[in-house]
């Protein structure tokens, strides 16, 4: 599969009478977009704010972050199974509003949601402080069940991102990136001397608001399977979970997966990037055994020499991570795992809930239990009281002056297990 990404560099977002992209600025008609999102009967009210890099703004609780994209040519549409039909995506041309994002916020859905600071020390821990963000604040109708609430906010974010993305459909891109993965047979013939490498991406599917969707299907209902990497770039995988903010893969992460990008950078030069194996992280032991068996089987079927395995979440999924590692290593395939740590505030506790000698090549995104202090901001978008109840916060986290004392896990993307962050260890 071959995909072109046409990046339209965005420098600012402003509200205006007409929605358009002009000279690197997104102009948004709030009434038009608000009417679109208010079609969902589960949303009581929707409002919009703009948060730019460097502004003294705090956003919480953050549900998802989504990059606006639009299919210009090729099969299907962006976010298949959600905003478009379920045609296989990953080919043709997709335009990207690079430097912009939609951030969904509002009343807390589940306690495992996050904070984005646009300036100050907290901003240094999240990549989203560097973006021009349209914040969509969705308040649910009274008494709405949590799963219906999550769905309403998730779809509102995707609708808003698709709406913005469509504004770039006829705009000339500032730069074009090309990504291509040959078929299995073509790859073997084209790069016979290069080591074959696959990427095993673990998707959060523990239930209880821990959901990830693939072509619109909840991944917990699916067996481990294979995707072309370019399918990820067209929105085939969408976040729908409320796991701890620090290592949640937002939809933005899936669209811009750095493991995929780094493997493409070495493809045809140092290695042969054969594809992506996606697998779930279910709760029960039988499900974990089944999914990890399939991960190892598909890695063997692809005939790869090595794999990179990334985790999403912590604790229970640590078992899935180690199962995948052990079983793939047992096939004679070398592995590198990417995770993060919950090692206590002093860093002295066991980092993972499971371990094995075969997991001898590990990349860590940092210790999520590290205690940090976030200064007060001039403006808070959302609900500041959530600081005392979100994962990583505690009773008394929110101080009278508006400052917050919390664990690092409250910051969206801080210890991301795709490596989409600024932390690591040696």
Domain boundaries, the chain: 2-410
- 377 burial level (CB within 10 Å; 0-12, 13-18, 19+): buried
CB neighbours (10 Å) of residue 56? 14
CA atoms within 13 A on the CB side of 119: 12
Look at residue 423 in the predicted model and tell me its pLDDT: 75
Look at residue 426 in the predicted model and tell me its pLDDT: 61
Cα–Cα distance between 258 and 28 in angstroms, integer?
A: 30
Q: Could you confirm whether 242 is annotated as catalytic? A: yes
- 333 burial level (CB within 10 Å; 0-12, 13-18, 19+): buried
Alpha-carbon distances, residue 68 vs 134, 150, 310 (angstroms): 10, 20, 25
Say what the pTM is: 0.96
Q: Are 214 and 175 in contact (CB under 8 A)?
A: no
Look at residue 409 in the predicted model and tell me its pLDDT: 95
Look at residue 208 in the predicted model and tell me its pLDDT: 79
Nearest CA-CA partner of 312 in 347, 338, 285: 338
Catalytic residue (choose from 138, 242, 246, 325) = 242
Query: Tell me: the pLDDT tens digits for 65-84?
Result: 999 999 999 999 999 999 99
What residues in the chain have per-residue pLDDT under 50? none
Omega within 30 of 0 (cis) for the link into 61 = yes
Look at residue 425 in the predicted model and tell me its pLDDT: 60
CA atoms within 13 A on the CB side of 35: 4
Look at residue 424 in the predicted model and tell me its pLDDT: 63
Query: Tell me: the pLDDT tens digits for 44-67?
Result: 999 999 999 999 999 999 999 999
- 172 burial level (CB within 10 Å; 0-12, 13-18, 19+): exposed
């Amino acid at each position: 599969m071959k995909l072109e990404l046409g990046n339209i560099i965005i420098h600012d977002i402003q509200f205006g009478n007409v929605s358009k992209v002009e000279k690197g600025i997104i102009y948004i008609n709030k009434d038009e977009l608000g009417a679109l999102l208010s079609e969902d009967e589960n949303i009581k009210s929707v409002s919009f704010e703009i948060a730019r890099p460097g502004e003294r703004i705090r956003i919480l609780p953050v549900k998802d972050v989504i990059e606006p994209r639009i299919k210009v040519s090729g099969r299907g549409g962006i976010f298949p199974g959600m905003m478009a039909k379920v045609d296989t995506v990953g080919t043709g041309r997709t335009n990207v509003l690079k430097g912009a994002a939609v951030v969904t916020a509002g009343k807390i859905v589940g306690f495992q949601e996050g904070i984005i600071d646009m300036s100050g020390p907290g901003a240094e821990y999240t990549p989203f402080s560097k973006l021009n963000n349209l914040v969509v604040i969705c308040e649910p109708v009274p008494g709405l069940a949590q799963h219906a609430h999550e769905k309403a906010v998730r779809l509102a974010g995707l609708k808003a991102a698709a709406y913005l993305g469509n504004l770039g459909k006829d705009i000339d891109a500032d730069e074009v990136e090309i990504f291509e993965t040959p078929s299995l047979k073509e790859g073997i013939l084209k790069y016979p001397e290069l080591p074959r490498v696959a990427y095993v991406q673990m998707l959060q599917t523990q239930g209880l608001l821990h959901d990830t969707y693939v072509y619109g299907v909840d991944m917990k209902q699916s067996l481990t399977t294979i995707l072309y990497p370019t399918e990820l770039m067209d929105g085939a995988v969408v976040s729908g979970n409320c796991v701890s903010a620090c290592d949640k893969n937002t939809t933005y992460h899936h669209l811009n997966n750095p493991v995929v990008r780094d493997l493409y950078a070495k493809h045809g030069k140092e290695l042969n990037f054969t594809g992506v194996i996606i697998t779930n992280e279910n709760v029960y032991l039988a499900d974990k055994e089944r999914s990890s068996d399939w991960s190892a089987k598909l890695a063997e079927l692809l005939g790869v020499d090595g794999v990179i395995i990334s985790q999403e979440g912590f604790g229970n999924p640590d078992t899935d991570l180690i199962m995948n590692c052990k079983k793939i290593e047992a096939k004679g395939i070398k592995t590198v795992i990417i995770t993060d740590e919950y090692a206590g505030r002093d860093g002295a506790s066991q980092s993972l809930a499971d371990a094995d000698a075969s997991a001898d090549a590990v990349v860590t995104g940092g210790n999520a239990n590290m205690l940090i202090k976030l200064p007060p901001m001039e403006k808070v978008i959302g609900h500041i009281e959530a600081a005392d109840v979100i994962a990583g916060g505690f009773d008394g986290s929110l101080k009278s002056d508006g400052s917050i004392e919390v664990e690092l896990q409250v910051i969206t993307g801080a210890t991301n297990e795709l490596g989409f962050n600024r932390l690591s260890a040696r």
